[in-house]
Amino acid sequence: MSASNDAMRASERQSRTIEEQRQTILELQTPVIQVWDGILALPIVGSVDTARSQEMNEALLQKIVDTGAEIVILDITGVPVIDTAVAKHLLETVSASRLLGADVLIVGLSARMAMTLVHLGLDLSGVLTRTTMAKGLQLAFARLGLEVVHRRGAASVSLATDDLEV
């Protein structure tokens, strides 16, 4: 009797742990970051399946409405493999964002990914792509008419200890 009770309790604990971990993964996987006024970034890490892409979509579209963003940067540096299904999900995100008036850039494409996409016959035509987030940001700034300038002499100021040494 008590042995079966123990077993039940153990399995309950286990299922609770799994549920908690699932929740954590869910929270971790779709952060929509506002990198600048009017620019959102969505770093995608890990594989993209239908459920996940739906959640990403929802979170992203809501954020576009909330912030009035005009440009969205999808960073797929952390996506291990890209296949037809993943590409389809990405294109859905691109199309849906466009319907809300936001332009989408896809950044973080590797040479291998590009080759895969070409071999699959998916050229992502109509979607702007860049290799790195930095290049994507640059393009986004240009679109919004912003410019980043390098000020001479300013580089020596330490960001970390500035406030602490009062």
- Contacting residues toward another protein, per CB under 8 A: 54, 57-58, 61-62, 64-65, 68, 70, 92, 95-103, 126, 142-143, 145
- DSSP of 50-107, one letter per residue? HHHHHHHHHHHHHHHHHHT-SEEEEEEEE-----HHHHHHHHHHHHHHHHTT-EEEEE
Nearest distance, CB of residue 47 and another protein, angstroms: 21
Q: How far is the CB of 101 from another protein (least distance, A)?
A: 4
Which CB sits closer to another protein, 21 or 62?
Answer: 62
Cβ atoms of 71 and 105 within 8 Å: the answer is yes
CA angle 73, 34, 45 (to 5 degrees): 55
Neighbour tally for 117: CB within 10 Å? 19
**Minimum separation from the CB atom of position 99 to another protein (A):** 4
User: Judged by CB, which is closer to another protein: 61, or 87?
Assistant: 61
The minimum distance between CB 152 and another protein, in angstroms, equals 28
Q: 78 or 101: whose CB is closer to another protein?
A: 101
136 in Cβ contact with 73 (< 8 Å): yes
Residue 3 φ then ψ, to 5° = -65, -40
Single-letter code of the amino acid located at 51: A
Min. distance of Cβ 157 from another protein in angstroms? 33
Which residues touch 87 (CB under 8 Å, ≥6 apart)? 117, 120, 122, 124
Which residue's CB is nearer to another protein, number 11 or number 54?
A: 54
**Measured from the CB atom, is 126 or 153 closer to another protein?**
126
